[in-house]
Amino acid sequence: MNILNNWKTLELITREGETLVCIEGRVYGKNPRFPSSSHIRTSPVTGYSFESNSMVVMTRRGSEYLLGKPDSSETFAQQRLMRRLSRLGQKPSSSFNELETQLTDYSEYRKAEDAKAN
């Protein structure tokens, strides 16, 4: 997966009035399209997720980028990016299940209750 360092968020408006969020930065990785440390602008971001406490963004063209260090002029860059994406109706893709997370030892409890009932 490519890594974007020195990144910053761009909010663009199309002629039709659609708001798009793209990211510019220096790309590092093994993508033959981009020599290492090339400055790129992604296609519009369509979603994001977290892997090992790092944010990964997905783009309209199907690329994924792990976000490294933001540009030094961008304070709270990751939080601002998440807010912008949520305004556009884009939420993180997540396997988080609130019900399972809140019910710790649920399966053991059910087994004990079933055993009592029989």
pLDDT tens across the length of the chain (118 residues): 899 999 999 999 989 998 899 999 999 987 777 777 889 999 999 999 998 888 999 999 999 999 999 999 888 998 889 888 888 776 555 544 444 444 445 555 556 666 776 6
User: Both tokens of residue 82?
Assistant: 């998440």
Residue 68: what pLDDT? 94
| β-pair partners for 26 | 5, 39
Instruction: Give the residue among 107, 99, 1 at the shortest CA–CA distance from 54.
Output: 1
Residue 101: what pLDDT? 44
Question: Global pTM?
Answer: 0.70
